[in-house]
């Protein structure tokens, strides 16, 4: 069946699919140069829809990371001294170039990540929006003056860039997780070294091509490819790197937090999620079902915001389940470059194995698979969109992030119980609720222990909002004016003798 998929996506080389073939770079970018590593250390990148190798990137390590850090340190002074509006103009051009080459960037993303092409186009829009947003926001990086409590003194507070920064990013949003960090860093005056996920380096390298065209100076933005531990270990150990921003699993986040402690770095951690979705009896059933499908199956369920537990109240439970099952059964699975496809492949065999394990555990403990439940007949890493009913909290899927297209439905009776069960997790990234009762909406949104709450909508992200979680879902916020705070330090100056 994978051969069939290969025929659908076609035998074209990556370059032949792009109107700007030079956006496909198989070299890393550091200190303003394209760099190749030793041939035997090259890392293969595959198309998850076919399993075919689409290219290679260099396997760089500590020496190249040190070089990127030194170049960033050198670039820092001139970059921070540019006027905010000059940095903003470069960021704006970078974002505009992304939009001008949206189709190529989207094709590259779908080839290496697998998501449906329309989702890739949407991610490019989303990713570009951070560059414009933060450029504009940096123009308003105001400080304070403080009414003095000391006679003859004048007091002021300014916001300064933190210095050289680094980002380690995941494969599920190969462009947006970079620009959400780099947009803020560069706008604030900080150079950034990015180490993208091994599965999706080409989207990151295409961003570097466009950064150069936009006028980002040498050393201000680098993309390093190669083994995560060697590169991240060098970045975290360096006293020159003053901030690390990570998006990925809670497990790796803990490692990076511990490594960053040695040099007391600033950290931002966007970690795992386990989002609950509460559908109350008084919700608009049609809207709740559509919202649940969107919030569960986008990016094939491989989204930190993906709903992982659907709590449905008794009064609408059966009607919700029937409609939801119909909607999920209608989702078309296939290679992301086919524009009619709703759900692409999963990223890896281990992602499929996790879906299978969660389904098997739930079925063994009394759940029912009313839609899907198995590997898809297309083979490879395709998995059937799945709905499980009669799920209970003793099942693994009710406690762990699945990161795949499996929707478990749990039943609840009253509001307090629904909220308590939704909050009963170490995670706190995003939660969703559907209700038409205004008082309930207010109570529920206040009671949910999450960094972000979507009421009557599956869609709430964007450059102007503070993205981030509480509890073990992370530290800090990205996007919004608060996203810039993470790349600045307050400096207080007291001038005495002013009599």
What positions carry a catalytic annotation? 270, 304
Size, binding site for ligand NAP by CB under 6 A: 28
Contacts of 104 (CB under 8 A, 6+ apart): 18, 19, 20, 23, 206
Is 210 near ligand NAP (CB under 6 A)? no
Using the contact rule CB under 6 A, the part of the chain among 44-52, 73-81, 247-255, 380-388 near ligand NAP is: 247-255
Binding mask 370-389 for ligand NAP (x = CB under 6 A): --------------------
Is 463 near ligand NAP (CB under 6 A)? no
Which residues, 304 to 343, sit near ligand NAP by CB under 6 A?
A: 304
Kind of pairing between the strands at 386-389 and 192-195: unpaired
Is 172 near ligand NAP (CB under 6 A)? yes
Residue of the chain from 190, 214, 429, 463 that contacts ligand NAP (CB under 6 A): 429
Q: Which is nearer to ligand NAP, 258 or 490 (CB)?
A: 258
Calculate the alpha carbon distances from 153 to 63, 143, 273, 289, 498 in Å. Answer: 48, 17, 48, 62, 6
Q: Which is nearer to ligand NAP, 48 or 189 (CB)?
A: 48
Kind of pairing between the strands at 307-313 and 53-57: unpaired
Least CB distance from residue 419 to ligand NAP, whole Å? 22
Q: Which is nearer to ligand NAP, 35 or 256 (CB)?
A: 256
Q: Exposed, middle or buried by CB within 10 Å (0-12, 13-18, 19+), for 237?
A: middle
Q: Which is nearer to ligand NAP, 235 or 337 (CB)?
A: 235
CB atoms under 10 Å from CB of 390, counted, come to 17
Least CB distance from residue 274 to ligand NAP, whole Å? 9
Query: Rounded distance, CA 217 to CA 74, Å?
Result: 11
Residue of the chain from 8, 158, 198, 461 that contacts ligand NAP (CB under 6 A): 198
Query: Rounded distance, CA 105 to CA 22, Å?
Result: 11
Which residues, 399 to 418, sit near ligand NAP by CB under 6 A?
A: 401, 403
Contacts of 52 (CB under 8 A, 6+ apart): 6, 46
CA dihedral 247, 356, 377, 48 (to 10 degrees): 20
Asked if residues 127 and 479 have their Cβ atoms less than 8 Å apart, the reply is no
Is 170 near ligand NAP (CB under 6 A)? yes
- Among 335, 443, 268, 377, smallest CA distance to 5 is for 335
Least CB distance from residue 134 to ligand NAP, whole Å? 16
Is 252 near ligand NAP (CB under 6 A)? yes
Least CB distance from residue 177 to ligand NAP, whole Å? 6
Least CB distance from residue 351 to ligand NAP, whole Å? 8
Least CB distance from residue 431 to ligand NAP, whole Å? 13
Q: Which is nearer to ligand NAP, 8 or 461 (CB)?
A: 461
Binding mask 262-291 for ligand NAP (x = CB under 6 A): --------xxxx------------------
Which residues, 64 to 103, sit near ligand NAP by CB under 6 A?
A: none
Least CB distance from residue 124 to ligand NAP, whole Å? 17
Name the one residue in this structure whose structure tokens are 């035998």. Answer: 11
Q: Which is nearer to ligand NAP, 189 or 428 (CB)?
A: 428
Residue of the chain from 76, 134, 171, 450 that contacts ligand NAP (CB under 6 A): 171
Query: Rounded distance, CA 4 to CA 38, Å?
Result: 35
Q: Is 432 helix (H, G, I), strand (E, B) or coil?
A: strand
Using the contact rule CB under 6 A, the part of the chain among 62-70, 237-245, 252-260, 436-444 near ligand NAP is: 252-260
Q: Which is nearer to ligand NAP, 129 or 247 (CB)?
A: 247
- Among 85, 122, 127, smallest CA distance to 103 is for 122
Is 168 near ligand NAP (CB under 6 A)? yes
| Cα dihedral sign, 236-238-241-242 | positive
- Among 308, 320, 318, 309, smallest CA distance to 284 is for 320
H/E segment holding residue 310: strand 307-313
Query: Rounded distance, CA 87 to CA 188, Å?
Result: 9
Shortest-Cβ-distance residue relative to ligand NAP: 248
List of residues contacting ligand NAP (CB under 6 A)? 168-173, 197-199, 228-229, 232, 247-249, 252, 255-256, 270-273, 304, 401, 403, 429, 469, 474
């Amino acid at each position: 069946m994978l051969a069939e998929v290969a025929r659908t996506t076609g035998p074209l080389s990556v370059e032949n699919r792009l109107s700007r073939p030079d956006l496909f770079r198989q070299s890393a970018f550091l200190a303003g140069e394209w760099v190749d590593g030793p041939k035997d250390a090259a890392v293969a990148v595959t198309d998850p829809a076919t399993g075919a190798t689409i290219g290679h990137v260099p396997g760089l390590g500590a020496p190249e990371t040190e070089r990127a850090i030194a170049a960033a340190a050198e670039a820092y002074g001139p970059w921070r001294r540019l006027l905010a509006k000059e940095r903003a103009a470069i960021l704006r051009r970078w974002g505009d170039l992304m939009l001008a080459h949206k189709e190529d960037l989207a094709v590259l993303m779908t080839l290496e990540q697998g998501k449906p092409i329309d989702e890739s186009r949407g991610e490019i829009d989303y990713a570009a929006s951070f560059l414009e947003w933060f450029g504009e926001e940096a123009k308003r990086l105001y400080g304070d003056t403080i009414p003095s409590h000391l006679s003859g003194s004048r007091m002021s507070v300014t916001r300064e860039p933190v210095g050289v920064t680094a980002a380690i990013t995941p494969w599920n949003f190969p462009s947006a997780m970079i620009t959400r960090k780099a947009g803020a860093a560069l706008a604030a005056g900080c150079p950034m070294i990015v180490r993208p996920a091994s599965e999706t380096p080409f989207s990151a390298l295409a961003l570097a091509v466009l950064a150069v065209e936009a006028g980002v100076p040498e050393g201000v933005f680098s993309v390093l490819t190669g083994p995560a531990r060697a590169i991240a270990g060098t970045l975290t150990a360096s006293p020159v790197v003053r901030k690390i921003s990570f998006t990925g699993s809670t497990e790796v986040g803990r490692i990076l937090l511990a490594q960053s402690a040695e040099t007391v770095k600033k950290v931002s951690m966007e970690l795992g999620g386990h989002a609950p979705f509460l559908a109350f009896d008084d919700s608009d059933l049609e809207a709740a079902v559509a919202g649940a499908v969107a919030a569960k199956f986008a990016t094939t369920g491989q989204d930190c915001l993906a709903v992982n537990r659907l709590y449905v109240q008794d009064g609408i439970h059966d009607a919700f389940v029937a409609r939801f099952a119909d909607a999920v059964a209608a989702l078309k699975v296939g290679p992301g470059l086919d524009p009619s496809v709703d759900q692409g492949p999963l990223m890896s065999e281990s992602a499929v194995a996790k879906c299978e394990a969660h389904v098997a555990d739930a079925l063994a403990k009394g759940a029912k698979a009313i839609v899907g439940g198995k590997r898809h007949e297309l083979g490879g890493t395709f998995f059937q969109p799945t709905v499980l009913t009669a799920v209970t909290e003793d099942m693994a899927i009710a406690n762990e992030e699945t990161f795949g297209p499996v929707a478990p439905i749990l039943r609840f009776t009253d509001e307090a119980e629904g909220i308590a069960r939704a909050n009963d997790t170490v995670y706190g990234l995003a939660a969703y609720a559907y209700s038409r009762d205004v008082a309930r909406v207010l109570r529920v949104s206040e009671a949910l222990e999450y960094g972000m709450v979507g009421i009557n909508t599956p869609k709430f992200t964007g450059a102007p909002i503070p993205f981030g979680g509480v509890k073990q879902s992370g530290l800090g916020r990205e996007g919004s004016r608060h996203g810039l705070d993470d790349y600045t330090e307050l400096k207080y100056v007291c001038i005495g003798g002013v009599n």
